[in-house]
């Protein structure tokens, strides 16, 4: 067996993974090879230092609580409509409706008495309300997500 | 790996008790997932955030988990992918892990005049990950292989090379030629 192979055995020995027969062979080789003995000494010192200093890093005590808190926030955000969502929707929709009604009442439209014109205006106002509501909902959730 | 816990989690899932299963999962694997993230990202704070993200992804994936892969295998895979995303985003100092600031509390020294932090940081990424996990996980080749999803033989090779390189860079005086201890 060459020194390269004994190096592997030296490391396995440090890790407690050497069979009795392999250990016997290694010990015999070490008696006659100063280079392998030096390698073993260096690796033993390194192993001791790394084992002592690297240790077993652990999470902080609040780790699991923090995950569950984030989970709850996420689930709350995923509900179909929260109170703040409803407020966003109502506010934006109401503002759009008020604007549409004002336009209808206070602008002297020439076709005001035409039922078709009124129908188109109602349709446009409804679409504007819906768009404003969706926009408000999306931007409100965007703000929440950034928190 | 605790197979009894994994079975408990699976039973809870099968029984529709997802929240309990998730809490059990965190309890059992929080440190391992954190260490895996730390070995990849090299930064404790980033590792903690990435580990939390990993668990939240696991929560979302739990309803679809059918036990085709072992629970830890599945969880470690989520954690590795999460860390990869973090690294690509540049949110962690993946390219310069274990710097003085990143792991000051984990300073190591064979020789006071030599910087072990720098030596570990100077190792190739795969060697460094394997080496850190090896010591974090009580020198278990099998655990490192499972966490990094590598064959056992590859883990042994990485560890062998990492330790040789580390010893070489930390040994101030050259020893006999031919043994890599410059």
- Which value does ipTM take for this structure? 0.75
pLDDT at position A101 is 78
Chain A partners within 8 Å of B137 (Cβ): 56
Contact residues on chain A for B38, CB-CB shorter than 8 A = 57
How far is B150 from B147, CA to CA, in rounded Å?
8
Residue A71 contacts residue A39 (beta carbons within 8 Å): no
- Which residues in chain B (99-128) have CB-CB distances under 8 A to chain A? 106-110, 116
Domain count, chain A: 2
> Using one digit for the tens of pLDDT, what is the confidence trace for A66-122?
999 999 988 887 665 666 667 777 777 788 778 777 877 777 777 777 777 777 777
> B124 and B59: one domain?
no
Q: Does B176 touch chain A (CB under 8 A)?
A: yes
Query: What pLDDT is recorded for position A98?
Result: 82
Do the beta carbons of residue B74 and residue B65 sit within 8 Å? yes
A58–chain B nearest CA distance, Å: 5
- Among A37, A54, A71, which residue terminates a domain? A54
Angle (nearest 5°) at CA B144 between A58 and B128: 80
Give the residue carrying structure tokens 């060697």: B127
Residues spanned by the domain of B154: 103-182
Domain that holds residue A92: 81-146
Give yes or no for residue B118 having a pLDDT over 70.
Answer: yes
Q: Does B26 touch chain A (CB under 8 A)?
A: yes
- Please tell me the pTM assigned to this model: 0.69
Q: Å from B19 to nearest chain A CA?
A: 10
Q: Which residues contact B100 (CB under 8 A, 6 or more apart)?
A: B117
Q: Is residue B16 classed as helix, strand or coil in its secondary structure?
A: coil
- Contact between chains at B110 and A11 (C-beta distance less than 8 A): no
- End residue of a domain, out of B94, B118, B142: B94
Taking a C-beta distance cutoff of 8 angstroms, is the pair B128, B97 a contact?
Answer: yes
Same domain, yes or no: A85 and A123:
yes
Whether B83 and B131 map to the same domain: the answer is no
Final residue belonging to a domain, choices B94, B116, B145: B94
Residues 45-64 of B with CB under 8 A from A: 48, 51-52, 55-56, 59
Chain B contact present for A74, CB below 8 A:
yes
A107 within domain boundaries: yes
Burial-class residue A53 by CB neighbours within 10 Å (0-12, 13-18, 19+). Answer: middle
Q: What share of chain B is helix, strand, coil (3-state, %, to 5)?
A: 70, 0, 30
User: Could you tell me what percent of chain B has a pLDDT over 70?
Assistant: 79
Token pair for residue B66? 């059918």
| Cα distance between residue B50 and residue B58, in whole Å | 12
How far A21 CA sits from the closest chain B CA (Å)? 20
Residues of B in contact with A73 (CB under 8 A): none
CB contact under 8 A, B26 and A45: no
Of B157, B162, B108, B109, residue with least CA distance to B131: B162
Contact status, residue A117 vs residue A141, Cβ threshold 8 Å: no
Q: How far apart are CA A99 and CA A76, in angstroms?
A: 33
Average per-residue pLDDT in chain A? 82
């Amino acid at each position: 067996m060459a020194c390269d192979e004994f190096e592997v055995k030296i490391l396995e020995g440090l890790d407690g993974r050497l069979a009795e027969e392999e250990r016997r062979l290694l010990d015999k080789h070490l008696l006659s090879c100063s280079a392998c003995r030096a390698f073993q000494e260096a690796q033993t010192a390194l192993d001791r230092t790394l084992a002592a200093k690297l240790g077993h890093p652990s999470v902080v005590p609040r780790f699991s609580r923090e995950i569950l808190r984030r989970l709850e926030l996420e689930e709350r955000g995923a509900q179909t409509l929260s109170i703040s969502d409803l407020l966003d929707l109502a506010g934006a929709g109401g503002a759009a409706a008020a604007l549409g009604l004002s336009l209808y009442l206070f602008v002297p439209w020439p076709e005001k008495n035409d039922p078709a014109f009124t129908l188109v205006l109602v349709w446009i106002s409804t679409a504007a309300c819906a768009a404003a509501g969706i926009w408000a909902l999306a931007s409100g959730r965007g703000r929440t997500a950034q928190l | 790996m605790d197979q009894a816990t994994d079975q408990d989690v699976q039973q809870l899932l099968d029984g529709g008790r997802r929240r309990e299963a998730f809490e059990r999962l965190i309890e059992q694997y929080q440190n391992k997932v954190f260490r895996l993230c730390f070995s990849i990202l090299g930064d404790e704070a980033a590792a903690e955030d990435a580990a939390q993200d990993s668990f939240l992804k696991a929560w979302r994936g739990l309803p679809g988990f059918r036990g085709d892969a072992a629970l830890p295998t599945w969880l470690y895979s989520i954690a590795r992918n999460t860390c990869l995303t973090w690294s690509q985003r540049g949110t962690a100092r993946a390219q310069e892990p274990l710097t003085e600031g990143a792991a000051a509390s984990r300073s190591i020294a064979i020789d006071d005049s030599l910087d072990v932090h720098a030596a570990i940081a100077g190792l190739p990424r795969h060697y460094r990950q394997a080496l850190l996990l090896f010591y974090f996980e009580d020198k278990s080749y099998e655990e490192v292989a499972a966490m990094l999803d590598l064959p056992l033989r590859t883990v042994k090779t990485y560890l062998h090379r990492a330790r040789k390189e580390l010893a070489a860079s930390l040994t101030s005086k050259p020893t006999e030629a031919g043994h890599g201890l410059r």
